[in-house]
Amino acid sequence: MRPEDILLPTPSGVCCKRGGFHIDPTRPVDKAVITHGHSDHARAGHGAVLATQETLDIMRLRYGDNFAGSTQAVKYGETVDLNGISVTFHPAGHVLGSAQVAVESKGTRIIASGDYKDVPDPTCAPFELVACDVFITEATFGLPVFRHSHPEVEIAKLLRSGALFPERAHLVGAYSLGKAQRVIAMIRKAGYDKPIYLHGAMEKITRYYESRGIDLGHLELVKGHKKADLAGTITLCPPSSLNDLWTRRFPDPISAFASGWMRVRARARQGGIELPLVISDHADWDGITGTVAATGASEVWVTHGQEDALVHWCQTKGLKARPLDIVGYGEEEESGEAIHEAEA
């Protein structure tokens, strides 16, 4: 069976006509299979949504109880039959509840990865490699220049700066779903046991992570604390807040930003970032190419990011490859949460 007889790329997302569903559609549809809770993949207004319980909970927190006509929670490893099409969820390692979607019919398996990373993360299930015939991969960091640092090295850099400047506050810009909680967990793993402070916009999702058994230690909201009391502290905030009047409540703040985009120093300078931290929730170039090869797929579909470069690499390896040109992915932060253009 041809892959296009199972999944058909369209400008608004990948569609399975036989199964009657779309994967991460960028417009409201009758039935949506959602890979994770970031708003460029998980939109409100669908007739029905299938996703992991965590993704459904996150969508409910963000959009309210009536974000979809109906919902169905799917566990990792569980297979759902949709009009004769088998759909199975596998961990993607991106954020809490993130999933790859395996779509299978008559012996042909396509994996829609959503967003993923292949490195350990204490706040979500690790990426699971699944053999397939066609692999649909993101390419957010699909250029050879993007080779992420070890995140432990970046956290050590943050803690050294805190020790060096005890009279200053450190503000760490991090996306409110996934990145913030991962950074907090890594700070704790490095032995930091003082209170970590949160911008109010971070509280709802962070408390949800805690309710799912993720230990993040002692957390406090910034609101209500005196400026002098915040000297020597670490605060997590939305990246957009780093250039906001909100920062004036801190003593001589040092702005940090945890993102894969911080590999490009010009971006850090442009955003006024004093302490760039190269920590990403997306696979880097080596992670993407290594995953593509390990799946055993003979065909690769590439979406959001550096599509052309990855398509060219696949073709040099003898793989059939194509860009999907889907408009709307990678735009969560442009809608107001960040100062750069991709969830990183």
Residue 344 in any domain: the answer is: no
pTM as predicted: 0.94
User: Do 260 and 162 share a domain, yes or no?
Assistant: yes
Q: Please give the helix or strand (H or E) that residue 285 lies within, else none.
A: helix 285-295
Specify the long-range contacts of residues 40-49, CB closer than 8 Å, at least 24 apart. 40/328, 40/329, 40/330, 40/331, 40/332, 40/343, 41/114, 41/115, 41/329, 44/68, 48/72
Residue 100 in any domain: the answer is: yes
CATH, residue 190? 3.40.50
How many domains are contained in the chain? Answer: 2
User: Do 270 and 315 share a domain, yes or no?
Assistant: no
Structure tokens at 332: 């969560």
Question: What digits encode the pLDDT tens for the residues 183-220?
Answer: 999 999 999 999 999 999 999 999 999 999 999 999 99
Give the integer Cα–Cα distance in Å for 292 and 125: 20
Average pLDDT over residues 301-311: 91
Q: Which residues are CB-contacts of 205 (< 8 A; sequence separation ≥ 6)?
A: 58, 61, 176, 177, 180, 181
* Residue 341 banded pLDDT, cuts 50, 70, 90: very low
Residue 69 in any domain: the answer is: yes
* pLDDT confidence of residue 272: 93
User: Do 125 and 194 share a domain, yes or no?
Assistant: no
34 neighbors 59 (Cβ within 8 angstroms): yes
From residue 137, give the alpha-carbon distance in Å to each of 47, 160, 287, 310.
26, 36, 11, 10
Residue 68 in any domain: the answer is: yes
User: Do 157 and 251 share a domain, yes or no?
Assistant: yes
- What is 151-218 written as a DSSP string? HHHHHHHHHHHHHH-TTS-EEEE--TTTHHHHHHHHHHHTT--S-EEE-GGGHHHHHHHHHTT-----
User: Do 98 and 230 share a domain, yes or no?
Assistant: no
Residue 337 in this model has a pLDDT that exceeds 50: no
User: Do 206 and 157 share a domain, yes or no?
Assistant: yes
User: Do 137 and 70 share a domain, yes or no?
Assistant: yes
Residue 343 in any domain: the answer is: no
Q: Please give the helix or strand (H or E) that residue 236 lies within, else none.
A: strand 234-237
Residue 113 in this model has a pLDDT that exceeds 90: yes
Residue 62 in any domain: the answer is: yes
- What is 17-41 written as a DSSP string? TTTTEEES-SS--SEEE---SSTTT
User: Do 246 and 293 share a domain, yes or no?
Assistant: no
Average pLDDT over residues 130-154: 96
Question: What digits encode the pLDDT tens for the residues 159-170?
Answer: 999 999 999 999
Question: What digits encode the pLDDT tens for the residues 276-296?
Answer: 999 999 999 999 999 999 999
* Residue 305 banded pLDDT, cuts 50, 70, 90: confident
User: Do 118 and 186 share a domain, yes or no?
Assistant: no
180 neighbors 206 (Cβ within 8 angstroms): yes
* pLDDT confidence of residue 144: 95
User: Do 160 and 262 share a domain, yes or no?
Assistant: yes
Give the integer Cα–Cα distance in Å for 191 and 213: 19
Other beta carbons within 10 angstroms of residue 140's beta carbon come to 26
The per-residue pLDDT of the chain, averaged, comes to 94
Residue 126 in any domain: the answer is: yes
Of the residues 229, 255, 277, the one at which a domain ends: 277
Question: What digits encode the pLDDT tens for the residues 28-46?
Answer: 999 999 999 999 999 999 9
* pLDDT confidence of residue 331: 52
Residue 338 in this model has a pLDDT that exceeds 70: no
For residue 305, the enclosing domain spans: 3-145+281-335
Q: Which residues are CB-contacts of 226 (< 8 A; sequence separation ≥ 6)?
A: none
CATH, residue 311? 3.60.15.10
Residue 270 in any domain: the answer is: yes
* pLDDT confidence of residue 340: 36
User: Do 131 and 156 share a domain, yes or no?
Assistant: no
Average pLDDT over residues 330-343: 42
Of the residues 243, 259, 277, the one at which a domain ends: 277
**2 vs 329 pLDDT, higher one:** 2
Average pLDDT over residues 85-105: 98
Of the residues 256, 277, 298, the one at which a domain ends: 277
Residue 339 in this model has a pLDDT that exceeds 60: no
User: Do 141 and 290 share a domain, yes or no?
Assistant: yes
**255 vs 339 pLDDT, higher one:** 255
* pLDDT confidence of residue 12: 78
DSSP 3-state of 334: helix
Largest separation between any pair of C-alpha atoms in the chain: 67
